[in-house]
């Protein structure tokens, strides 16, 4: 007679890793591309929807506090509202990703990415109906908050995709954590380099420089610093392309999301260093 814990033990023994995961180097480039697209969407949203952030919830929370202190209830609601669809997007993305992995379907991120594409396509389609001079001019408050919900939920969904690269946890929709990890990685690399070269010959110095591209903390610094550069580039491109194409400029990040979806279906992003559902790390 099997014990009550036997099914769980069998589940733990089952292989949960994909046989052909996406290599870490390609995942790093994919994370950079998604950071570019997140900044693009955030900037477009800010420019066309009454200067409200759709990915930057820290900024919205700060603006909410200022509006509340000033008793500006309209602005307070404008900045408070995106937090709700953003969190709902997070919950939907995290739930569908966990469900897909429980079903041993390793292309789990594609669910969130496809949903994000549908939300942004809806924003472009509805925006064409409620846009005047490049600005969204909804006829009612309900329409305004509906339009604001679309990119906010999309950014929440993207936050749960490509969260781990070569053992490093990253996010592609905001930068505070990336800059923190960049500084930590630089500090660790500096100590590693000092230990390798202090009081040593020039030959050891050259050897340390030669293996730097493969050194863990150097790679982490390159990735987290690269996320900042990609986000900045996405913001600049968003402004420039919005001036030329208005809201349909979102077709550029939508294309990147479509490519990311295809990649995840062919070579799952949830690779070997993704934690199992019962891991605490």
Give residue-wise pLDDT tens across range 239-281: 999 988 888 999 999 999 999 999 988 888 764 445 444 444 3
Lowest mean pLDDT among 8-22, 137-151, 158-172: 8-22
How far is the CA of 202 from the CAs of 188, 212, 213, in angstroms? 22, 15, 19
Measured N-to-C along each axis, helices 109-129 and 141-159 cross at an angle, to the nearest 10 degrees, of 160
31 domain residue, yes or no: yes
- Percent of the chain with pLDDT strictly greater than 70: 85
123 domain residue, yes or no: yes
203-248 tens-digit pLDDT: 778 888 888 888 889 999 999 999 999 999 999 999 999 988 888 9
Residue 22 pLDDT grade (very low, low, confident, very high; cuts 50, 70, 90): confident
Question: Residue 64: which residues within 8 A CB-CB, separation 6 or more?
Answer: 76, 79, 80
- Burial of residue 68 (CB within 10 Å: 0-12, 13-18, 19+) is middle
194 domain residue, yes or no: yes
32 domain residue, yes or no: yes
Its domain, for residue 173, covers 22-266
198 domain residue, yes or no: yes
13 domain residue, yes or no: no
273 domain residue, yes or no: no
CA-CA-CA-CA torsion sign (118, 250, 146, 95): positive
Q: What is the pTM of this model?
A: 0.83
121 domain residue, yes or no: yes
The total number of structural domains that make up the chain: 1
The beta strands (E) that lie in the chain are given as 131-132, 135-136, 164-165, 168-169
């Amino acid at each position: 007679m099997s014990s009550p814990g036997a099914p769980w033990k069998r589940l733990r023994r089952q292989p949960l890793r994909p046989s052909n995961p996406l290599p870490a180097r390609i995942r790093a480039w994919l994370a950079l591309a998604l950071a570019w697209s997140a900044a693009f969407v955030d900037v477009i949203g800010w420019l066309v929807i009454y200067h409200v952030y759709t990915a930057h919830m820290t900024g919205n929370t700060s603006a909410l506090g200022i509006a509340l202190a000033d008793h500006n209830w309209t602005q307070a609601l404008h900045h408070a509202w995106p937090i709700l669809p953003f969190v709902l997007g997070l919950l939907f993305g995290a739930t569908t990703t966990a469900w897909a992995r429980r079903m041993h379907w390793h292309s789990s991120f594609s669910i969130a990415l496809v949903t994000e594409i549908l939300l942004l396509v809806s924003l472009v389609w509805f925006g064409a109906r409620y846009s005047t001079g490049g600005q969204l001019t909804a006829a009612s408050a309900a329409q305004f908050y509906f339009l604001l919900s679309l990119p906010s939920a999309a950014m929440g969904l993207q936050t749960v995709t490509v969260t781990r690269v070569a053992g490093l946890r990253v996010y592609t929709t905001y930068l505070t954590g990336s800059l923190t990890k960049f500084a930590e990685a630089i500090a660790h690399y500096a100590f590693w380099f000092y230990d390798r070269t202090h009081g040593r010959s020039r030959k050891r110095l050259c050897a340390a420089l030669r293996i730097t591209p493969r050194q863990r903390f150097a790679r982490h610094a390159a990735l987290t610093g690269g996320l900042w550069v990609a986000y900045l580039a996405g913001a600049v491109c968003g402004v420039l392309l919005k001036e030329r194409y208005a809201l349909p400029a979102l077709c550029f990040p939508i294309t990147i999301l479509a490519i990311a979806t295809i990649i995840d279906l062919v070579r799952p992003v949830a690779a070997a260093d993704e934690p199992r559902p019962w891991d605490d790390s």
